Structure 1
Amino acid sequence: MEFTFYYYSPSAAAAGIFVGLFGVCTLLHIYQLIRTRTWFMIPFAIGGIMEVIGYVGRLLSSTESPDWTQGPYIMQSALILIAPAFLAASIYMILGRIIVMLDAEKCSIIRLRFLTKLFVAGDVLSFLMQASGAGIMVKDDNSADMGEKIIVGGLFVQIIFFSFFVVTAAVFELRMANQRIVVSDKLRSIWSRQMMALCFTSVLILIRSIVRVVEYLMGYDSYLMKQEVFIYVFDALFMFIVLLTLNWIHPSQVNCELGRAEKYFDNIVQVREFVPAERREMESREHV
């Protein structure tokens, strides 16, 4: 099969819109993580940057039609494909911090010391497979099929780990309800909002990964590959909603409750938590 960059002329308007949308959300994420010291959101911000650069690549390709060059194509193909792996890495870390905040390790099916490590390890494996597959696919025509198979393998790894993660989060919620763990109204409110955001964004990334697997399994010259609308509906739109959701319900509030930050963002507004003098003094002694 002769490798073809695009079976359509990429839309400059659509690419430009998502460059702007991803750019605004990513800049806000960078500001939020720096101001609140929510450092585990760094991979999430990197994923946002990749989305921006990826759609810049599509924008550049739209100006070259029909004589496309390899550079912009590789930018958009590789970065849009692997960016969700970086978004997933931070989402995995949120669950562990929620469990610590609630002091509810007994409700988790995986011990806390292994929880984040397990899912991040799977995420890294998925990222490496997808990145290497994307590189091989555009190397030459003879490598396209092999590259597709590696990408599909990486997406399957992502789907397996994300499905297990969703199950882990669901079981945690069920056990918390069944065992009737007592938590304060404040923590219950934070827990409810953060778990809602975590599950919602996880499902979006999972659906996106399933669609991309189907896309590659049908072949590079399939109907899904030949219609630009699918990448904007099931990839660009879904990932934009993921970024926007965690802008709105930012996990810095969990970090603040864990004593790892002085501020958090609630509905895009920066808030400073009141910390009693006794708690500040106790925390200062613990850090000595």
Structure 2
Amino acid sequence: MILFAGVFAAHFWQACKHNNLWLGLAFSLGAFGEFTGWLARTVAYRCPYSVRLLEMQLAALIMAPAFTTAGIYGVLGQLIPIIGQDKSPLTPKQYLVIFMTVDFFSLLLQAIGGGVAGAAFSANISYWPGTYTMVAGIIWQLVSTCAFTTLLEYVIYRAMRQIIRNPPLRKITSALMIAVTCMVARGVYRSMELMNGWRGYLFTHEIYACILDALVMFIASVTLNIWNPAALIKEARAVGTEMELRTREEQDRKKRTNGEYQPVAEEGEPAFTSIQ
């Protein structure tokens, strides 16, 4: 709980410092959701039979990764203009529309399932209908994350030459790959946990939640803190512009050497072309 509070404060400070509201808000809300969920779990240590605390931690820990992934979609959308639209099969807007729509419906399923399961606990009836609904939502979200990860890897592969030559791009892509890998691992764990039931081995042993949910999400959030995309995107744009200018100068130099250079004539002056 304390660690996620620190991550939330760091993301909020970075959002204000680098003046990137979209990324800062998404990553901050993701860290705040993790903080809220683990706050509920911490308080529930004193009253483990509280359904309200159970619902609070379920809702927070289910929604938190969605905000972080939304921020990652935004990062990729800002990278595409730097590396070139030809490197990506989708436009930045298409990434946001498609994957955020899928995430919204997966969260809706998980929220409905959590509400049904919570009501079942209160009424002391079968909680499996709500559980299966939550499992469907989590698996849907997991498939969406895997599909996005595949597209991200494809974009990185296509733009590998530019990424290698641009240090800020290397840091951004490394941070994104670490973050999405952690989220896939968390999604696999959550799916298996719920499929085993609320009284299953994974759900009744806290160490698995601490390692396969809290720890992996903490690694993802801290990685995005250390290699903050909002700051690195500005550096990547500057480096990319410098590289582009240098490439043009080299091309002009080669044309002059080969006798192919054709300067633009000033107004009122005849243009001339050197003959090789």
Q: What band does the TM-score fall into relative to the shorter chain?
A: 0.7 to 0.9
The yes-or-no answer on 1:25 pairing with 2:3 is: no
Deviation digits for residues 74-108 of structure 1, max 9, x if unmatched?
A: 21122112211111111111111111122x11111
> In the alignment, is the contact (CA less than 8 A) between 2:59 and 2:114 conserved in 1?
yes
Bigger share in helix = 2
Of residues 129, 133, 136, the one that matches 2:113 is 133
- Greater RCO, 1 or 2 (C-alpha within 8 Å, sep 6+): 1
Distance 1:54 1:163, change over 3 A: same
| CA-CA distance at 1:257 after TM superposition | 5.2
> In the alignment, is the contact (CA less than 8 A) between 1:36 and 1:252 conserved in 2?
yes
> In the alignment, is the contact (CA less than 8 A) between 1:129 and 1:153 conserved in 2?
yes
Distance 1:85 1:184, change over 3 A: closer
Structure 2 counterpart of 1:44, which letter?
A: F
Q: Distance in 1 between matches of 2:193 and 2:180?
A: 20
Q: Alignment partner of 1:247: what SS?
A: helix
Q: Distance in 2 between matches of 1:87 and 1:118?
A: 16
Deviation digits for residues 171-212 of structure 1, max 9, x if unmatched?
A: 1122224xx5x5894xx1111110010011001001100111
| CA-CA distance at 1:254 after TM superposition | 4.5
Match of 2:192 in 1: 214
Q: Distance in 1 between matches of 2:107 and 2:45?
A: 27
Q: Distance in 2 between matches of 1:240 and 1:48?
A: 8
Q: Alignment partner of 2:202: what SS?
A: helix
Q: Distance in 1 between matches of 2:20 and 2:171?
A: 17
Structure 1 stretches of 5 or more lacking a match? 1-18, 260-272, 276-288
The yes-or-no answer on 1:152 pairing with 2:152 is: no
Of residues 8, 21, 39, the one that matches 1:39 is 21
| CA-CA distance at 1:134 after TM superposition | 1.3
Q: Say what the alpha-carbon RMSD is for the aligned residues.
A: 2.4
Distance 1:37 1:255, change over 3 A: farther
Distance 1:143 1:135, change over 3 A: farther
TM-score (norm 2): 0.79
TM-score (norm 1): 0.76
**Structure 1 residue ranges, 4+ long, deviating more than 4 angstroms after superposition:** 182-185
User: Which of 1 and 2 has greater Rg?
Assistant: 2
Match of 1:202 in 2: 180
Q: Alignment partner of 1:219: what SS?
A: coil
| CA-CA distance at 1:70 after TM superposition | 2.0
Q: Distance in 2 between matches of 1:184 and 1:234?
A: 32
The yes-or-no answer on 1:226 pairing with 2:204 is: yes
Match of 2:222 in 1: 244
The yes-or-no answer on 1:52 pairing with 2:35 is: yes
Structure 2 counterpart of 1:226, which letter?
A: T
Q: Which moved more, 1:194-203 or 1:213-222?
A: 213-222
> In the alignment, is the contact (CA less than 8 A) between 1:159 and 1:210 conserved in 2?
yes
Match of 1:173 in 2: 156
Distance 1:184 1:205, change over 3 A: closer
Q: How many residues align?
A: 237
Structure 2 stretches of 5 or more lacking a match? 242-276
Q: Distance in 2 between matches of 1:70 and 1:210?
A: 25
| CA-CA distance at 1:152 after TM superposition | 0.8
Q: Which moved more, 1:137-146 or 1:168-177?
A: 137-146
Match of 2:125 in 1: 142
Deviation digits for residues 9-65 of structure 1, max 9, x if unmatched?
A: xxxxxxxxxx11000110110111122111122122112111111111111111125
Q: Distance in 2 between matches of 1:201 and 1:241?
A: 7
Structure 2 counterpart of 1:115, which letter?
A: Y
> In the alignment, is the contact (CA less than 8 A) between 2:112 and 2:130 conserved in 1?
yes
> In the alignment, is the contact (CA less than 8 A) between 1:190 and 1:254 conserved in 2?
yes
Q: Distance in 2 between matches of 1:81 and 1:161?
A: 15
| CA-CA distance at 1:71 after TM superposition | 2.1
Q: Distance in 1 between matches of 2:20 and 2:169?
A: 17
